[in-house]
Chain A
């Protein structure tokens, strides 16, 4: 019984552990994939808290300087799915400035050895252009071993 319980709790923990490493591959809601990957990759929902996602959805007509507005029905669907799939835990619950994933403390920490010049590289341009270096980003693969930093 004890073994079963221990196993069950491990199984419950597994997704949390991989979410913590930002390489969890939660299947994306097709509508989220479709609507959010036109201008950037569809970011894994665990990278922000439910309240950050809600603010982003509410402000889509003014989304980091561009109009990313959606029809109300689509916005409701995405909001419900993001709320249910959002990240939890201490380092996610502290909302980054402007709810920007790239300003989260974990993001800054994991990229600090790169120096700031990398974000101005012609093929990168923005810290939000994840797949410039993380080739599997669109599939939720941010594994450090597969990173290719442009020269």
Chain B
């Protein structure tokens, strides 16, 4: 009985954690903007996305200049599903996944993690793109 109570509690916690991580792209944009303490600027996001930052790759190297189509990993050649939420409803629907990929890809492109303002700007730009 005690064990099943524990199990129930565990299941409830897991479900709660899962629910907390699920979010719409607009909710995540609002969170990043709040963390940054300013409104997102889509035009800055476009610049960040398409520029190189003293290294070999830009975001566009793998995701494409207008990321409404399937991209291709610059090193391995593996197809990368479209990034713009209008073309791919799975994008930016899981906070942990969003954070994981911003961390990895900003390190690859900028040589450091992105701050909340930069994440807000890029996401704001991606949300302006129509398929």
By a beta-carbon cutoff of 8 Å, the part of chain A in contact with chain B is 38-41, 61, 64-71, 123-126, 128-129, 132
Question: Which residues of B have CB within 8 Å of A71?
Answer: 100
Query: Which residue of A64, A65, A68, A129 is within 8 Å of B104 (Cβ)?
Result: A68
Please measure, in the bound complex, the distance between the C-alpha atom of A132 and the C-alpha atom of B80, giving whole angstroms: 14
Q: Are A39 and B76 in contact (CB under 8 A)?
A: yes
Most buried by A among B78, B103, B108: B78
B interface residue count range (under 10 / 10 to 19 / 20 to 34 / 35 or more): 10 to 19
Please measure, in the bound complex, the distance between the C-alpha atom of A71 and the C-alpha atom of B77, giving whole angstroms: 25
Most buried by A among B76, B80, B103: B76
Q: Are B108 and A126 in contact (CB under 8 A)?
A: no
Known contacts A67-B103, A69-B103; is A124 also within 8 Å of B77 by CB?
yes
Which residue from chain B places its CB closest to the CB of A40 in the assembled complex?
B76
Distance to closest chain A CB from B100 (angstroms): 8
Known contacts A66-B104, A69-B104; is A132 also within 8 Å of B75 by CB?
no
Please measure, in the bound complex, the distance between the C-alpha atom of A132 and the C-alpha atom of B78, giving whole angstroms: 9
Q: Are B73 and A39 in contact (CB under 8 A)?
A: yes
Q: Are B77 and A65 in contact (CB under 8 A)?
A: no
Q: Are B76 and A125 in contact (CB under 8 A)?
A: yes
Q: Are B73 and A67 in contact (CB under 8 A)?
A: no
Query: Which residue of B75, B105, B107 is within 8 Å of A126 (Cβ)?
Result: B75
Question: Which residues of B have CB within 8 Å of A65?
Answer: 75
Query: Which residue of A40, A41, A67, A123 is within 8 Å of B108 (Cβ)?
Result: A67
Question: Which residues of A have CB within 8 Å of B100?
Answer: 69-71
Please measure, in the bound complex, the distance between the C-alpha atom of A70 and the C-alpha atom of B75, giving whole angstroms: 19
